[in-house]
Amino acid sequence: MGLILLFVLGFCASAVFANDDKIVVCYYGTWATYRTGLGKFDVDDIDPFLCTHLVYAFIGINAEGTALALDPELDVERGNFKNFTSLKEKNPNLKTLVAVGGWSEGSANYSIMAAEPEYRQNFINTSLAMILEYNFDGLDVDWEYPNRRDTVHGEDDIENFSTLLKELREEFDNYGLLLTVAVAAVEEAAVQSYDVPSVAKYVDYIGVMTYDMHGAWDSVTGHNAPLFISEGESAENESTLYNVNNAVQYWLSAGCPPEKLVMGVPFYGRTFNLSDPSVNAPNSPSNGAGLAGPYTAESGFIGYNEFCYILQNESSWTVQTDNLAKVPYAFLDYNWVSFDNVESMTAKVEYANSFNLRGIMLWSIETDDFHGLCGEGTFPLLNTINTVLAEGSTEARHNNPPHHHHH
């Protein structure tokens, strides 16, 4: 009896331990501190137990590769870097990273830096110094993107990016620091930017940005992050469609091992203005960007929190699920909104589990319903991710003999 009990306890302990292998990478867009009312989100609003990795977005660089705070008044003077990394005092298992780059930084300075050995060394030195000074656990490189947008060195960026990661890895290993990247997801974009096996070789994990697949820039309505083919899409050339499944399968086949692949999910939606309000399925003609969220204030974009408040307060919206793409959408008059909810989050995390991916990355924590005003508790999307990932780990544990992991 005692032996059986011991065995059961031992089994449960290893099942729980196995969950530690799955990661939840939460980006925090720090400019949310400037939002008003229910949209304002500060470091204090972060629940440090719902993420294994928290990523501070963003810092930047100059053309010589010197790492710089982009909002020094907030980041440094008002102590936001330090407050962020101090969340580790509440949860000692938490890892905090700082992300360099992002969409607004463009590609040019990264292209220049990566092509010049002295600038690369300067970047490594100055980013390392910031990480050590503010007690981060690593760096997330979000160059958007090698060999695209305002790149300076074009295709050379691909190899130079790998060289940069190799040199960062060598230096960071001296300090036990994490090195991660966020990458463009769909094959058509990714083939322009990355030597996948060499990126995978040097980083701890790759965050694949499986969102922004359709938006107001398209001439028809479409989902921000469809899991599979959507209603209204042709199955001819299906593998070239922009969806999460195609992107994940591309990254796996291109040489990213599943245990280094972290799949991105959006905590925001994309809004469209219908050309004809009576034609409102996915793939219907669109005139461009639709409504803006009251707090994020950018037409074409809406936080999950903002949209769930709208749906709660305005009963005239029609909410449907695209049963092929496994994501919801909603419409009212000219407005058409693609978004993710608890149900689509569940389907996506189950998908990630089924391919034994390392975990889930989310953009971004400050647009979950962190106040819990939509009847689903606080942080409903983030809680869903944690719950479904843990179920996946437990299933994997039941299918495999327990063994220890070393990361």
How is 258-301 classified by DSSP, letter by letter? Answer: GGGEEEEEESEEEEEEESSTT--STT-BEEEE-PPPTTT--TTE
Residue whose CB is less far from ligand NAG, 168 or 263: 168
Count of residues near ligand NAG by CB under 6 A: 35
Residue 65 region by backbone torsions, left for phi larger than 0, else alpha for psi between -120 and 50, else beta: left
User: Of residues 14, 19, 91, 163, which one binds ligand NAG by CB under 6 A?
Assistant: 163
Residues 58-77 that bind ligand NAG (CB under 6 A): 60, 62-63, 74
User: Of residues 6, 10, 13, 78, which one binds ligand NAG by CB under 6 A?
Assistant: 78
What span, in angstroms and rounded, lies between the C-alpha atoms of 224 and 104?
A: 19
Report residue 265: phi and psi, to 5°.
-135, 145
Query: Which of 89, 105, 144, 233 is an active site residue?
Result: 144
Residue 133, classified by CB atoms within 10 Å of its CB into exposed (0-12), middle (13-18) or buried (19+), is: exposed
Cβ contacts of 84 within 8 Å, gap of 6 or more: 28, 43, 46, 54, 56, 96
User: Of residues 52, 85, 109, 367, which one binds ligand NAG by CB under 6 A?
Assistant: 109
167 is catalytic: no
User: Of residues 287, 320, 323, 354, which one binds ligand NAG by CB under 6 A?
Assistant: 287
Instruction: Confirm or reject binding of residue 174 to ligand NAG (CB under 6 A).
Output: no
Cis peptide before 145 (omega within 30 of 0): yes
Residue whose CB is less far from ligand NAG, 276 or 343: 276
What span, in angstroms and rounded, lies between the C-alpha atoms of 224 and 213?
A: 5
Residue 388, classified by CB atoms within 10 Å of its CB into exposed (0-12), middle (13-18) or buried (19+), is: buried
Please, what is the end-to-end C-alpha distance for the chain in angstroms?
35
Instruction: Confirm or reject binding of residue 146 to ligand NAG (CB under 6 A).
Output: no
Instruction: Confirm or reject binding of residue 80 to ligand NAG (CB under 6 A).
Output: yes
Site track for ligand NAG across 215-244, x = CB under 6 A: -------------------x-xx-------
What span, in angstroms and rounded, lies between the C-alpha atoms of 6 and 3?
A: 5
Instruction: Confirm or reject binding of residue 192 to ligand NAG (CB under 6 A).
Output: no
142, containing H or E segment: strand 138-142
Cβ contacts of 141 within 8 Å, gap of 6 or more: 99, 100, 101, 164, 165, 168, 179, 180, 181, 182
Shortest CB 128 distance to ligand NAG, Å: 8
Cβ contacts of 8 within 8 Å, gap of 6 or more: none
Residue whose CB is less far from ligand NAG, 64 or 259: 64
| Tokens coding 393 | 């780990």
Shortest CB 124 distance to ligand NAG, Å: 7
Shortest CB 238 distance to ligand NAG, Å: 9
Residues 21-60 that bind ligand NAG (CB under 6 A): 42-43, 60
User: Of residues 101, 102, 290, 359, which one binds ligand NAG by CB under 6 A?
Assistant: 290
Shortest CB 368 distance to ligand NAG, Å: 14
Shortest CB 69 distance to ligand NAG, Å: 13
Residues 299-318 that bind ligand NAG (CB under 6 A): 309, 312-313
Identity of the amino acid at 79 = G
Residue whose CB is less far from ligand NAG, 125 or 378: 125
Residues 376-395 that bind ligand NAG (CB under 6 A): none
Cβ contacts of 192 within 8 Å, gap of 6 or more: 145, 146, 147, 148
Q: Name the β-bridge partners of 99.
A: 57, 140
Shortest CB 40 distance to ligand NAG, Å: 11
Residues 314-343 that bind ligand NAG (CB under 6 A): 334
User: Of residues 160, 210, 338, 364, which one binds ligand NAG by CB under 6 A?
Assistant: 160
What span, in angstroms and rounded, lies between the C-alpha atoms of 105 and 122?
A: 18
Residue whose CB is less far from ligand NAG, 164 or 390: 164
Residue whose CB is less far from ligand NAG, 292 or 347: 292
Catalytic residues: 144
Q: Which residues bind ligand NAG (CB under 6 A)?
A: 42-43, 60, 62-63, 74, 78-80, 83, 105-106, 109, 115, 117-118, 121-122, 125, 156, 159-160, 163, 234, 236-237, 273, 287, 290-291, 309, 312-313, 334, 373
